Chain A
Amino acid sequence: MRNILNLIQRYYVFLLFLTLQGFALYVFFNNNNYARAEFINHSRDWVGSIYSKRTQLKEYLMLGEINDRLSLENAILRSKLPENVMVVDTSSFEMRDTLAFQRYIYRNAKVENITLNRERNYIMLNRGTIGGIEPEMGVISNGSIVGIVRSVSEHFSVVMPILHSKFQGSVKMKGSGDFGLLVWPGGDPEIANVKEIPKHVKVEIGDTVVTTGYSSKFPANIMVGFVESLDDRAEENFHRISIRLSTDFRKLDYVQVIDDLLKEEEDKLLEETEAADGANGN
């Protein structure tokens, strides 16, 4: 008995090791599904809470990345909204008739942007070369003159309206047929001037002013405005006519762009004539 106690005292560490190791191996090898499930169930309760804390921390640390992703997604979704999609409009109406040959066709466009308070104002339209718009085309709205297309990109075009210091249009008095020059003095976007109508022509306040159709940009008899006031000077030979424009630029929304189908033919003919004249002159 004493020998055994001595043995134990001497090797107690090794015996302790064997006992504990035996227990560990027993647990390990007798780890059938039931015991394993019990073990896991008991341990996972509090280990699980530690793991969930860790997950929460990770989620918090990833908030920046998540924000970036969400904001990108917002941008993608926003760009899919109908307001942001531009439908390319190529429609235009053309009449086919062997007797009545169509000279002008109209394309509608929407005003994207417009300035009114400058000396040189511009209007941007949401239709460009794809939509059949070209420079030098006339622009009207509800049957009254707006301006002339200046430059065109694929999807947009910029119009020089009457409200531009460089704008000049050929107009006539509807009643008498005498023609003059339409210019804008600046300032009020509702008022323009008509120059070069001689004093012998009788002009009354309220007379209608329309386009002449001499330039290929506008057909004849497009409404321009009504005579607002006469400010004639004794020393001048021409009327000073102020007209109230029939186009309300402040409310401009949809416009029609005029395409002259015979413009090329006309220009070519004029060019040839001028060239011939030049040759004769020399």
Chain B
Amino acid sequence: MALTVINNIFRILFLILLQNLVVNRMQPLDGLILPWIYIFGILMLPFETPRWLTLLISFAVGWIMDFFSGPPGLHTSACLLLGFLQPLIQRLFSPREGYEINQRPTVQSMGLPWYLTYAGILTLIHHTWLFFMEVLRFSDFFYQLLHIVLSVAATLFLMTIGQYLIYTSKNSDQ
């Protein structure tokens, strides 16, 4: 339990640093593709996490992200939406008898189709919210649409590949 908490905290902090120090520096096609992989930390929260905790963690993650980039409140808002919907999406796609105690929201544990549906929907919602809050400020609509689609694809790709690279079936239960 304690190990799970520590694991998640470090994962979230690592992803935020990775996002800001590495990913944000590589902007293919002049920033047309901008994956926000830090949400992986929220998507990886265990199934049994209380909803209020998911919300607070999302708030904290978004707040820290806003420290690094973007106008204040931007990532906070998008992350809160993500943190609010994440348990609902999990419930929506849950097996009939509910999640088992050792199951985690990973490709290894739940299978690729489940993961792509789960992560795909949440990533799309998060990115759309994030990008349209930015659109209020600049840029044109169709470019943003393409921006969203490509960025969601990139984020999904990176998160999925990352799991294959990092998590073996042995340690996927943390």
Contacts and interface: CB of A to CB of B under 8 A. Distances in A.
Interface of A: 12-14, 16-17, 20-21, 23-29, 31, 35-36, 39, 43, 47, 50-51, 54
Given A28-B133, A31-B72, A54-B21, A13 B52 contact: yes
B67 A36 contact: no
B106 interface: no
A16 B54 CA distance: 11
B11 interface: no
Interface size class of B (residues with CB under 8 A): 20 to 34
B80 A28 contact: no
B59 interface: yes
A45 to B, nearest CB: 10
Contacts of A24: 59, 62, 73, 76-77, 80
Interface of A, secondary structure class, is helix
Contacts of A47: 67-68
Given A13-B84, A17-B80, A25 B52 contact: no
Interface in B8-48: 17, 21
25 contacts: A12-B52, A13-B52, A13-B84, A16-B52, A17-B55, A17-B80, A20-B76, A21-B77, A21-B81, A21-B84, A24-B59, A24-B62, A24-B77, A25-B73, A27-B72, A27-B73, A28-B71, A28-B72, A28-B74, A28-B77, A31-B72, A43-B66, A43-B68, A50-B21, A51-B21
Contacts of A43: 66-68
A13 B21 CA distance: 33
Contacts of B67: 43, 47
Contacts, number: 57
Contacts of A23: 76
Interface of B: 17, 21, 51-52, 55, 59, 62, 66-68, 71-74, 76-77, 80-81, 83-84, 133
B55 A20 contact: yes
A282 B17 CA distance: 103
A20 B54 CA distance: 12
B94 to A, nearest CB: 17
B84 A17 contact: yes
Contacts of B71: 28, 31, 36
A50 B77 CA distance: 24
A35 B67 CA distance: 13
B54 to A, nearest CB: 9
Contacts of B83: 17
A9 to B, nearest CB: 12
